[in-house]
């Protein structure tokens, strides 16, 4: 399937879209990767959802994870965040294996995510939603909180509220702070999910189709947000169907099809890759 590498694309083929006037970032420093996925395999009964998938996420990059429906993208997220423990293979974060850690432990290590279908706490205010994320790092004792007398409890609540407000500001929905989450407009709910994830203070932020269902204007401002997050030091793993969005924002791309990795490289390389084109257009391998 793989053909000889094509010559590296030239500059102008790099991301088009908002912010394309910005200087092209050099390829991130290929030092120790933030997350290493080695031979990750996941089986559900007889179905192999992921088959020996390996890739690295480097510090400070936006890595796109793409592929046709059912390729295993979300399953890959689920494995990283502890929702579905791997059948085989290892995931190493900052050099240590995630093993069979629980979801909340993985979050506290510094991996946060958003969801393909929005999963907020619908009856809480936007601020409270984000505070749940910020709580991940707080430690009031149970008696301290029950009687609400401990000074530490008050101090933590203050800090937590401040962090939550900062994150709402970061994604640009400060004015929604005291509204009930389920009443927020769709686009703001997506942003709220990002704010909530940021509040857990992640090093790696996994965004599962953050632009799904958004209009072009919303997509453009979302791209801006994702880029600004990377520029302030977050490493981002992004799933999306929208090729334009993915091509426009990612530094590198990994392509999955039927649970296998079929390509990995710079956006322009991926766009030219015949296996990827075939996977997306459904063209038989031979005629690509």
Residue 176 gets which letter from DSSP?
G
Which of 51, 56, 61, 156: binder of other proteins (CB under 8 A)?
A: 156
Give yes or no for a contact between 199 and 22, defined as CB atoms under 8 angstroms apart. Answer: no
- Contact track, other proteins, 187-216, x by CB under 8 A: ---------xx--x----------------
* 275 scored as a contact of other proteins (CB under 8 A): no
* 145 scored as a contact of other proteins (CB under 8 A): yes
Gap between the Cα atoms of 196 and 77, Å rounded: 17
Task: Give the shortest CB-152-to-other proteins separation in angstroms.
Answer: 11
Q: Cβ–Cβ contacts within 10 Å for residue 224, how many? A: 15
Gap between the Cα atoms of 194 and 211, Å rounded: 11
Of 5, 3, 2, 10, the closest CA to residue 268 belongs to 10
Token couple for 115: 């969801």
Which of 84, 124, 243, 266: binder of other proteins (CB under 8 A)?
A: 124
* 74 scored as a contact of other proteins (CB under 8 A): no
Residues in contact with 225: Cβ distance below 8 Å, sequence separation at least 6, in sequence order? 171, 172, 191, 194
* 288 scored as a contact of other proteins (CB under 8 A): no
**For other proteins, which is the closer residue by CB, 50 or 160?**
160
Which of 5, 32, 123, 231: binder of other proteins (CB under 8 A)?
A: 123
Token couple for 51: 């088959």
The one segment of 16-24, 58-66, 118-126, 250-258 that binds other proteins by CB under 8 A: 118-126
The one segment of 33-41, 61-69, 80-88, 249-257 that binds other proteins by CB under 8 A: 80-88
Gap between the Cα atoms of 165 and 126, Å rounded: 10
How many C-alpha atoms does 201 have within 13 Å on its Cβ side? 9
* 272 scored as a contact of other proteins (CB under 8 A): no
What residue ranges bind other proteins (CB under 8 A)? 81-83, 102-104, 107-108, 112-113, 115, 119-124, 128, 131-133, 135-138, 140, 142, 145-146, 148, 153, 156-157, 160, 196-197, 200
């Amino acid at each position: 399937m793989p053909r000889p590498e094509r010559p590296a694309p030239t500059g102008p083929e790099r991301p088009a879209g908002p912010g394309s006037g910005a200087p092209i970032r050099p390829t991130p420093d290929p030092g120790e990767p933030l997350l290493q996925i080695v031979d990750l395999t996941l089986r559900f009964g007889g179905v192999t959802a992921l088959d020996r998938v390996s890739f690295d996420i480097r510090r400070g990059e936006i890595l796109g994870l793409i592929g046709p429906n059912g390729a295993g993208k979300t399953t890959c997220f689920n494995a990283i965040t502890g929702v579905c423990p791997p059948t085989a293979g290892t995931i190493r974060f900052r050099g240590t294996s995630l093993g069979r850690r629980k979801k909340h432990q993985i979050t506290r290590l510094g991996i946060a995510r958003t969801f393909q279908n929005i999963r907020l706490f619908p009856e809480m205010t936007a601020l409270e939603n984000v505070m749940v994320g910020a709580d991940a790092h707080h430690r009031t004792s149970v008696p301290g909180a029950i009687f609400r007398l401990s000074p530490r409890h008050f101090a933590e609540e203050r800090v937590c509220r401040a962090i939550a407000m900062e994150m709402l500001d970061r994604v640009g929905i400060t004015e929604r702070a005291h509204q009930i989450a389920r009443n927020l407009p769709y686009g703001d709910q997506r942003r709220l999910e990002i704010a909530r994830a940021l509040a857990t203070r992640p090093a790696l932020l996994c965004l599962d189709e953050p632009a799904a269902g958004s209009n072009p204007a919303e997509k453009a401002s979302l791209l801006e947000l994702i880029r600004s997050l990377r520029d302030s030091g977050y490493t981002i793993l992004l799933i999306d169907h929208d090729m334009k969005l993915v091509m426009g924002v990612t530094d590198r791309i990994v392509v999955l099809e039927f649970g296998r990795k079929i390509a990995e490289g710079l956006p322009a390389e991926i766009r030219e890759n015949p296996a990827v084109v075939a996977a997306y257009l459904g063209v038989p391998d031979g005629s690509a």
